[in-house]
Amino acid sequence: MSALPMLSAAARSVLAAAIVDSNLVRLTSGQLARTLYEEVNEALVRIGGKWKNGRTQAHVFPQHYDPAPLVAGLVASGVMPPKNPLAFFPTPSSVVESMLTSLDIDAFPSADDDTYWSELGREGGLRLLEPSAGTGAIADALRARLPRATLECCELNPLSAAVLRRKGYPVFEGDFLAFTPSAAYARIALNPPFSVKGDVRAYQTYIRHAHAMLAKGGSLVAIAPPGFLTGTSKPDREFRDFVYEHSQGYGVEEIAAGTFAESGTNIATVLMTLVAEPTGRTPVGGSHCWHCREAKLVGDSNSSEYERMRIRIAERRVAGELSGSLSDASSSVSHAVHAYYDDVIRLEKLPVALLPACRAHLRREFVEDMAYQFDLRDRVADAAAVGPIATSASQTSIAEDERVRTEAMREAPRVTAAPGVVPAGHEPVYGDTLSLFPDLAA
């Protein structure tokens, strides 16, 4: 890394006289020469401040951000801090709290439990790590909850590393990817750089590197952009599988939009929680990948509408209105199945992108469900014996036709359930599905 430029003596003097009031830094040295102000302003901007005119007349920092140690570091070191080379944005306190909850931090005994902590100390203690720690937003919260744990930090920015040392943290100053710990960690919490020069998916690299440092039974929580959830590139698919295979439950939860606005960015983010050992979870039912697993599970969970669509497609197929085979991705009946799952994904806002192999698997699952789970072939025959739904310009007549046919189907020997008329105000979740296929509408 090339040497950072030095601040002038005049700039250091202005910063030394500045007043820090909560998240505001006010300059008190009067009117500054233009070049001197630009130098001071640049230094404050690089540590996260932004000048605000009007009544404020100060450099404003994120609300949860304490600029005092950073300003003191500028004065003491005399070094102009680097620009945000790792796209670092401080972690908001609300997100920090969610991270600690995900790590189940409160499950550990309080610091007053001498027996527990003494015994744990003989076994090497409870080791925690915050990589890419910045000025320690996450580390501070961890230390407040677990003051008797061993907490270490990694930080590339020398000014931020100096702040961490003044706070009393052991710090590895340098690239986290070059860090090798002396022992594994029970808990790791990180807000990694999302991308860096030469690595557009740096967050994936950092999370994998951190995960390799977990002790047996340990867990990791990380902030990441959501792109990998729907990405179709090989790195995104492999990272998605890695996340799902090392997570309990879904493993990923969305962070509310705008949460990081106070830190200077509106980028979308998610929170993932991973465990050290693979959980043994696999895409069930022979699914091609986790994405088609999620689409199928959600589609199956809305049983009434899933069944309704299945019967609609089967009826139109029998009537010759949907041609081709489900083994042919370009056939009209395949398009009907594809559009059904696309609607499930859209309406449920699933972070899912279906590959061609996913669609082929879902078509196979669809026809197997029709043939075996509900014995649909016999049900279609029963429905044909009742007769087709009458076409009428009157919505009331159509509803009556549906009701009569539903009752007749329920009386058929093989019928276990049947689509019924949906009362007003109780429309199916996937009611828009049929609108995608005018030829499927009754």
For each of the chain's 442 residues, which pLDDT tens digit applies?
445 688 999 999 999 999 999 889 999 999 999 999 999 999 998 887 889 999 899 999 876 667 887 788 788 778 887 665 444 567 778 889 889 998 999 999 999 999 999 998 888 889 999 998 988 889 999 999 999 999 999 998 887 888 888 889 999 999 999 999 999 999 999 989 888 888 889 999 999 999 999 999 999 999 998 888 777 788 988 898 888 888 865 568 877 766 555 555 557 788 899 999 887 665 555 565 667 777 887 777 666 776 777 677 777 776 778 877 777 888 888 888 888 888 878 877 776 777 777 788 788 777 666 654 444 444 444 444 444 433 333 344 434 444 444 444 444 333 232 333 333 333 333 333 333 333 433 3
Residue range 93-281 forms a domain whose CATH class is alpha beta
- Retrieve residue 174's tokens: 């340098």
Look-up: residue for tokens 């304490």? Answer: 66
Which pTM value belongs to this model? Answer: 0.61
Distances (CA, A) of 288 to 160, 244, 292, 342: 45, 14, 7, 17
- Retrieve residue 396's tokens: 């009331």
Are the C-beta atoms of residues 177 and 209 closer than 8 Å to each other? yes
Residues 35 and 8: their CA atoms lie apart, in Å, by 11
Domain locations along the chain: 9-77, 93-281, 290-440
Query: Over the range 251-280, which residues count as b (16 or more CB within 10 Å of their CB) and which as e?
Result: bbeebeeebbebbbeebebbbbbbbbeeee
